Amino acid sequence: MNPAADAYIRGSEQYAGVNYGSNPVLEVRNQGFAEGNRLAYFKFDYNEVSEDIDAATLRLYAATIGQDATRTVSIYGTADKSWLESGIKWNNAPTNSTSLDANPAFTHVGDIAITNPTPGSVYRDHEHGGVGFWYEVDVTEYVQSQLHDKIVSFVVLIKNSADTNHVNFNSRENAGAKPELVIETSEGNPGGPAEPDAPAVYTPKEDTYVAGSNNTTPNPFYQENKLEVRHHMTGTNIRRSYIKFNFADFDKNIEKATLRLHAATIGATDRRIVEIGGVVNTWSANTVTWSGAGTAAPSAKNASTFIANLEIQNPTPGTQWTGGQWYEVDVTNYVKDRINDQEVSFVLWIRETSVNGEAANNQVIFHSAEAAEGKPQLVLTPRGDKYENENLPKTVSQNVYQFNSPDPLASKGSVNIVNMTGVGDYIEYSADVGESGVYSVKVNNKTDSDRGIYQLYIDGAAQGPQVDQYASSAAYTEEDLGMVAIEAAGVKIFRFEIAGQNDESSGYNLGLDYIRLQKAQLEKVSAVTANPPAGLLEAPTDVQLSTSTAGATIYYKIDAAPSWTEYTGPIHVDTAQKITAKAANPPFMYDSDIVEFNYRFPVNTDVSIKATTAGVSLDGIVDAQSGEWAGAELIKLEGTTDGTGVRTADVFMKYDYEMLYIGAKIKDPTPMVNAHTGSGIWNGDALEIFIGDEDLESSVYPPGGMAPSDRQIVLSGGTINGYQSYLNVGGVNSYPAMLMHIKPDADGKGYTMEAAIPLETLGFIKPWQNGGTKAIMNVVLSDGGFGGRGHWGWTTNGEQTKKSRGLWGKVAFEAAPDPADEIEATANVDSGTQAVTITGRTLHVQNKFVAMLVRDPSGNVSTFEQVRSDGNGYFTFHYQPDGSGAGSGVYSVLIGGEGISVPKETSFSLTDEEEETGNGFTIGQVQFTDFSGAAVTELTGSGFIMANITVTNDLNEPAQASMIVALYNANNTLQRIGTVEKNMTAGETAVMRAGFDLPANIANSRIKVFVWDSLEGMLPLSDVEVFPN
């Protein structure tokens, strides 16, 4: 209950005679002198409580707290209760002293320790998202001592003086968070007999928390007396809490619903945001686990309904705080929407992108239902559902007289008596109904021997049967007059009209105590079903919708249509589309749940990857009708359409003699959101390509997974960290060079992605030969901000099936002739002098300029030269290393010139004592780089490192080489591994690369690089390279 009166008093000659009874806040302060002091007074009347009082709690809401870090507020009961809210002042209050312990007229009932979360500055709730602080004091003994008049008066003060120790509490005149006296009786009803505005307090039916990746059953945390909430960069340290409340016995209209949580411990981080979400009620505390070894915890990120953010500050930043504090969250709308379920569940979590979201000490520990005190609470405040007839505005017909008659048996001590003279006489009451909906209508009648028979009308429509108020003696009976649908909130007219008279009655009078409107507990219309059911259609089909509820009307929408259409007959489906449907309109039933039916048709999974000799420029323009992408076949990712927008992708592919080109036109309402790097980019917006050219029918490898040789390429849709990509083969990530370009759409609802991936990286050798290489493929669009990453595939749907190679589509590289040579060139090295001679011939032009560029093993330009070919196109270059270059290794030679459209590449090798030649291979020195290609000279925690090594097959036949890069910690324990294997043709030179992300702690760690013939053969081709050495 709220106070019957409250006010504060203020010292000094200027203010001692001023009354502050109508102020919305109550100031409490002690500055050591009268002019600076404020005291607050509260008075509660609990005469409506008839049962024995078990407990009483005074609750005060602090909206403003002074700069001082702490202060103690004291509460005293006052024997003098005669003060009036409109009259109390400093100079006439029961006391204005701050020293009352020795005064017998005042009883010390308790103290409140109040801490400022922002010491040094005044804390004001409106500057912190409306978050103030509730404080409670047990006043049971004092309230029980005042049963003689059931009125208690309190004075609230601060004993110790300080300039900035003030606190402002909300008063009963405030719009929200008014002072409360919560009384619990032996029957468990706060405040005695349920009044319309008496809140009902519920503790959890069950609660628990889950830990990241912990799937132990039963849940090891479900009987703990705490609920942990935390986010952490280490997934196993994440904590999320779940709370379920049952309020099946609450039969009133909800005015407000409040979730109350008691924080027992707050981590050392200065502030954090706890997100409150609503989730389904299907979980159980003893079986729920992180991801479903028992029952999967409802997803906080993707499946919860956002309700509110709760900012929690640590009053002592830098150290863990254990002072205890209540927090409140308004959950009214969420609970009201689930009034029929009679249960609600909440999830408490910290989002990684929120303030201090990944800080090590951002945790909050709340008390659970198993705690001795401070259990979570769902407080339901009912809207006033009783309209006292004596207090409502009235209109009567001619010759009708009405008056209010005192009666202790009436609900509020008074009943409205209406003297009628005959049939047709009436009285009308105007009642303001605050919310639309379906209500049950009840009238409390005072029967008697002179009563008539009435018919109730609401806004002109007859409501329920006629009611005969006759009885041989006076009594009160509540009559149920059925249900009424209130279409819109506002003033409604309740007309009681005389319809007749009982033969035993002596008159037509009426006795009306109150009208009660209670939100009806209605059933839902049965959900709509579809025939044929959603899924794959082989041909255009008429879809029929139906519901099992008689009299219901079905409404539907196609895809993202903005409005509902009434269903009158089958819906013709001839393209992929989504039908959204609901059923409504039977009297006194809620609309059905909204359901979706997604229909699709077989995907053309025989796609030709067209060959091009001109390549594709990465310019953010993808047009399959003209230009570079003309003729490319469409790979359509259907995606989804919802209230936030469209998610689809049109993907095209081409290839030339060096590159596979990918062009994608992506629609996404929140495009290019991916702040992850390295192998973490799959968590955000991305495009994934799965491709394999082995066991195409999945007769050897299981169709539900990937073969060891299948390749997964992940291309990040974000650019905040530069273009990011990686390759995964056999579960091992590597980071070969891939060219990318991303361009946002002008409307901000999508982007174009282009990429060029070397065929060699994908393991394809001359795929244009032998009629074109055949493969299986899947392309997947991921939206990190949508429920279910990797959700929309070319031939699959959902994260779990995207790697099922048995579902992938079929592709074939278009056959093409081998590239025509325009130039021939060879390089020879004199083993004694290491002089290099490059000779060659231009095949189609003569007497033209020919240019040569030589790069050393590090990629630096070593020399360049220009000559003119002779009349037959022959040319010769001479190059003598001066000994000051990069030393041994493979040197690349590029030769072009007039009439040469594609320059010719060749190479030669120089050796010295540091270079190794063994088992038919020449192995260069290892170069270490970061993700961008910059040289790395030392190991850096949480960084990225890649090993690069040049390998030449000196044999006259194809052979295999493998590179293994491994990280060992100070205890010589393997921490990371990266591998790359390559089948090399005779005389081929290649640069092999492999790497990985580094852990945060790399003290005394080392990297070892091995070059073997293969992981199976394990024949070393060089010594082990150790870094740092």
Span 482-486, average pLDDT: 89
The identity of residue 116, as a single letter, is N
Q: Is a pLDDT exceeding 50 seen at residue 915? A: no
Whether residue 856 contacts residue 892, with contact meaning beta carbons closer than 8 Å, is answered with no
- Rounded-to-integer distance, Cα 155 and Cα 28, Å: 10
Q: Is a pLDDT exceeding 90 seen at residue 65? A: yes
**Least confidently predicted of 417-421, 875-879, 934-938:** 934-938
* pLDDT mean across residues, the chain: 87
- SS3 sequence, 198-267? CCEEECCCEEEEEECCCCCCCCCCCCCCEEEEECCCCHHHCEEEEEEEECCCCCCCEEEEEEEEEEEEEC
User: What's the confidence (pLDDT) of residue 881?
Assistant: 79
User: What's the confidence (pLDDT) of residue 354?
Assistant: 63
User: What's the confidence (pLDDT) of residue 235?
Assistant: 63
Give CA separation, 797 vs 232, 291, 639, 689, 727, in Å.
30, 20, 9, 14, 22
Span 414-434, average pLDDT: 93
Span 44-66, average pLDDT: 88
- Rounded-to-integer distance, Cα 145 and Cα 139, Å: 10
565 or 606: which leads in pLDDT: 565
- Rounded-to-integer distance, Cα 705 and Cα 171, Å: 65
- Rounded-to-integer distance, Cα 647 and Cα 658, Å: 32
**Three-state secondary-structure class, residue 334:** helix
Q: Is a pLDDT exceeding 70 seen at residue 190? A: no
Q: Is a pLDDT exceeding 60 seen at residue 532? A: yes
- Rounded-to-integer distance, Cα 590 and Cα 253, Å: 16
Q: Is a pLDDT exceeding 70 seen at residue 187? A: no
Span 179-199, average pLDDT: 57
Span 784-810, average pLDDT: 76
Span 523-529, average pLDDT: 90
How do beta strands 364-367 and 254-266 pair?
Answer: antiparallel
User: What's the confidence (pLDDT) of residue 21?
Assistant: 93
**Least confidently predicted of 188-192, 354-358, 517-521, 530-534:** 188-192
User: What's the confidence (pLDDT) of residue 642?
Assistant: 64
315 or 790: which leads in pLDDT: 315
User: What's the confidence (pLDDT) of residue 194?
Assistant: 29
- Residue-wise pLDDT for 82-112, tens only, equals 999 999 999 999 999 989 988 989 999 999 9
Q: Find all residues with CB under 8 Å of 866, minimum gap 6, and list them.
A: 849, 850, 851, 852
Dihedral of CA atoms 375, 380, 381, 386 in degrees, nearest 10, equals -140
Whether residue 600 contacts residue 638, with contact meaning beta carbons closer than 8 Å, is answered with yes
User: What's the confidence (pLDDT) of residue 264?
Assistant: 92
Span 396-410, average pLDDT: 91
How do beta strands 437-447 and 475-486 pair?
Answer: antiparallel
Whether residue 752 contacts residue 666, with contact meaning beta carbons closer than 8 Å, is answered with yes
Q: Is a pLDDT exceeding 90 seen at residue 59? A: yes
- Residue-wise pLDDT for 648-703, tens only, equals 999 999 998 889 999 999 998 889 988 888 888 888 899 999 999 988 888 888 88
User: What's the confidence (pLDDT) of residue 793?
Assistant: 85
User: What's the confidence (pLDDT) of residue 189?
Assistant: 31
Q: Is a pLDDT exceeding 50 seen at residue 126? A: yes
pLDDT band for position 539 (cuts 50, 70, 90): confident
Dihedral of CA atoms 611, 616, 621, 625 in degrees, nearest 10, equals -30
pTM here? 0.40
Phi, psi of 150 (to 5 degrees): 55, 40
- Rounded-to-integer distance, Cα 212 and Cα 686, Å: 24
Percent with pLDDT over 90 in the chain: 41
- Residue-wise pLDDT for 369-391, tens only, equals 999 889 999 999 887 678 889 88
Q: Is a pLDDT exceeding 60 seen at residue 195? A: no
Which residue ranges form the domains of the chain, and what is each CATH number? 5-185 (2.60.120), 200-382 (2.60.120), 386-519 (2.60.120.260), 529-600 (2.60.40.10), 606-813 (2.60.40.1190), 828-902 (2.60.40), 916-1027 (2.70.50.60)
- Residue-wise pLDDT for 702-758, tens only, equals 888 899 899 999 999 998 888 999 999 988 899 988 999 999 999 888 999 999 999
- Residue-wise pLDDT for 316-350, tens only, equals 888 999 888 899 999 999 998 888 788 999 999 88
User: What's the confidence (pLDDT) of residue 192?
Assistant: 25
How do beta strands 295-296 and 288-289 pair?
Answer: parallel
Helix (H) or strand (E) holding 645: strand 645-655
- Residue-wise pLDDT for 230-255, tens only, equals 887 666 788 899 999 999 888 777 88
Tell me the two tokens of residue 566: 């009434």
- Residue-wise pLDDT for 550-582, tens only, equals 989 999 998 878 899 999 999 999 877 889 999
- Residue-wise pLDDT for 880-910, tens only, equals 876 544 467 888 888 888 877 667 888 888 8
